[in-house]
Amino acid sequence: MKTLTLIISLLIIIVSSANAQWTGEYEYSAEGGLIVYTIKIYEDNTATYFGEGIQTYFGVNMNWQENGDKLDLFYKSTYEGSFFPANWINKDEPYAVMFRKNGKTYIKFPQLKGNDNTHKLKKIN
């Protein structure tokens, strides 16, 4: 019984430390700083993605899942403002992917086609 308790405790610690490496608030800007995007990662495997600025205003609920050394963010719903219609987004595929490279955190949007859509994130909380 002690072995089982120890294994469960270790698993909880491993999961908690994995969550801790991603949890927090991040932001990036576009259009010369005229649009600011904020991503909040919560310990309960949920996240929010918010955009505000020139012709931009939306809030999106997401779920996240670790995928190796990356964090996959899946679109769940729009809670505020104007975002892509839900039927334009494949909810079974990551809408966004966070990753680290050379000590910096980035986000990319694999469902958006066109120009490079990778942005360097700044952790603000």
Average per-residue pLDDT for the chain: 85
Tell me: pLDDT of 72 over 90.
Answer: yes
Q: pLDDT higher for 13 or 75?
A: 75
Residues 29-65 pLDDT 10s: 988 889 999 999 999 999 999 999 999 999 999 999 9
Output the pLDDT for position 5.
Answer: 44
- The phi and psi torsions of 5 (rounded to 5 degrees) equal -60, -45
Structural domains in the chain, CATH included, are 2-123 (2.40.128)
For residues 47 and 63, the answer to whether their CB atoms sit within 8 Å is yes
CA distance 33 to 21: 27
